[in-house]
Structure 1
Amino acid sequence: MGSELWTGSSERFRLSSVTACGRTTVAAIGEVDLDSSPQLSAALDVAVSDGADRVDVDFSRVTFCDCAGLNALLAARCRCWGAGVVFGVFGPVSPVVLRLFRVTEVIETLPVR
């Protein structure tokens, strides 16, 4: 049985979290930036502290991501690794997001699918 929680919403950013069978998927929609990245970090912290075996971040509907958003992902990866939780990012399709991931070589650091 799964549950869904909307953890943040604004005109430029929305965030949801769904948990089922030990797996939490945090879906970000819109712009992940200095203003919204703390919400993303908080949702990922909750996923880890709630005992998820796996945490996935759905970036398929993210249109923009800056270094603050990137730092939120990298910090979550470290928290998951330390807690023995599998972590992954999937679906980045925005050319802006993909460029950021490529230029910073985060594609080689984060498990991006």
Structure 2
Amino acid sequence: MRTDTVLLPEQTVIFLSGEIDLGTVGTLYEAVRACLDTRPARLLIDLHEVSFCDCVGLRALLQTKDETLRAGTDFRIRGPLRPLVARLVDHTRTADRLGLSPAAPEGPV
């Protein structure tokens, strides 16, 4: 996974790309902690380039949200989510907890 952080006056954006899993969540945690040290009003995590996220990655995103809110910083996730990530969020019913709208169903209804 790759992270790029952009500091803006109104928020800090962490762009993630690649896979969020057991082998990469440490990188996510490091980027978030460095961001929270700057005390931004809002932390925005951009997931539109994340190709895969497993349960460990999802847990890391949920913990990131909790840690960010405890620090007094607003938390947002931006997509759109790629199909594998959207499916994980849909199957685990964590869209609301992450602040996302439910994933659109795939294929004909």
- Taking every aligned residue pair, what percent have the same amino acid on both sides? 32
> Which residue identity lines up with residue 33 of structure 2 in the other structure?
D
Report the structure number with the largest CA radius of gyration.
2
Deviation of the 1:99 alpha carbon: 0.6
Aligned counterpart in structure 1 of residue 23 of structure 2, from 18, 21, 35: 35
> Which residue identity lines up with residue 76 of structure 2 in the other structure?
G
The residue aligned with 2:44 is 56
SS at 1:43's partner residue?
Answer: helix
Q: For structure 1, which runs of at least 5 residues remain unmatched after alignment?
A: 1-12
Deviation of the 1:89 alpha carbon: 0.8
Q: Which has the higher strand share?
A: 1
Q: Is the 8 A contact 1:45 1:76 kept in 2?
A: no
SS at 2:57's partner residue?
Answer: helix
Deviation of the 1:88 alpha carbon: 0.9
- 1:3-82 alignment, distance < 5 Å: 13-82=1-70
Q: State how far apart, in whole Å, the 2-side matches of 1:102 and 1:111 are.
A: 13
Range with greater deviation from structure 2 (70-79 or 55-64): 70-79
Q: Output the aligned Cα RMSD.
A: 1.3
Which 4+ runs in 1 deviate beyond 2 A?
none
Deviation of the 1:22 alpha carbon: 4.1
The residue aligned with 2:107 is none
SS at 2:39's partner residue?
Answer: coil
Q: State how far apart, in whole Å, the 2-side matches of 1:22 and 1:46 are.
A: 17
Question: Scaled by the length of structure 1, what TM-score is found?
Answer: 0.83
Q: State how far apart, in whole Å, the 1-side matches of 2:5 and 2:100 are.
A: 18
- 1:77-92 alignment, distance < 5 Å: 77-92=65-80
Q: State how far apart, in whole Å, the 2-side matches of 1:57 and 1:103 are.
A: 21
